[in-house]
Structure 1
Amino acid sequence: MAIGIRIKMEGVTADQFNVMERSVDPDSNPPEGLIFHASGPIDGGWGVIDFWESRELFDQFANERIGPAVAAAGMSGAPDIREFPVHEHFPR
């Protein structure tokens, strides 16, 4: 069953997120198991909503690619990550 991941990154700016995103390069090197990704500004930082095939695939991506990219972008502090079950999703 697919899962949803909601991430809140306190104090992160669009510029910092863009640096991290370029380092991760999901367009040229899509992460295994990612179904959907969206991000944008939230009160006090940056927010992400993802759908993944499994928590294991999200964790693998986070550990292998996001972690190093976050450090390179100068982001600090642990993100608030919440998982929720995805009952259904419709690709367009």
Structure 2
Amino acid sequence: MAVVMTFSWPEITPDVYDAVRKKVRWEEDAPDGCVLHAAWFVNGGLSVMDIWESEDHFNRFIEARIAPVLKGELGVQSDPEPKFYPLHRRFVAPGVSGASS
């Protein structure tokens, strides 16, 4: 079942997010099961909303691709507390694709 996942992570700054994005290359090599990713910053900390095919898909991506860079290479100590919700419906406006920046 598809899920919506959200979290806030105060320790992750725009610079850290961009460094991880460049190393993991999730936009060029999309993670298995990822449907949508949106990220923004509030008071300097990261907020995320994703849609995944399942919670397991998200967990596998974090363990295999994100954690080795974020925890291993960059030494981030904290963890977010992701929350998962069953997806009821999604709509993608015609003509929308790709990253905003």
Q: Tell whether the 8 Å contact from 1:8 to 1:45 is kept in structure 2 after alignment.
A: yes
Q: Tell whether the 8 Å contact from 1:20 to 1:70 is kept in structure 2 after alignment.
A: yes
CA RMSD across the alignment: 1.4
Match of 2:6 in 1: 6
Moved more, 39-48 or 16-25: 39-48
Q: Give the superposition deviation at 1:8.
A: 1.2
Match of 1:90 in 2: 91
Unaligned runs of 5+ in 1: none
Match of 2:96 in 1: none
Greater share of residues in strand: 1
- Please list the CA deviations of residues 29-86 of structure 1 after superposition, one character each: whole Å capped at 9, or x if unmatched: 1101101000010235111110000111111101100111212234221112111111
Output the TM-score relative to the length of structure 1. Answer: 0.90
Q: Tell whether the 8 Å contact from 2:3 to 2:87 is kept in structure 1 after alignment.
A: yes
Match of 1:73 in 2: 74
Q: Sequence identity of aligned pairs in percent?
A: 28
- Code of the residue aligned with 2:74 in structure 1: it is A
Aligned length: 92
Aligned counterparts, 1:7-86, within 5 A: 7-43=7-43, 45-71=45-71, 72-86=73-87
Distance in 2 separating the partners of 1:40 and 1:63: 22
Q: Tell whether the 8 Å contact from 2:14 to 2:44 is kept in structure 1 after alignment.
A: no
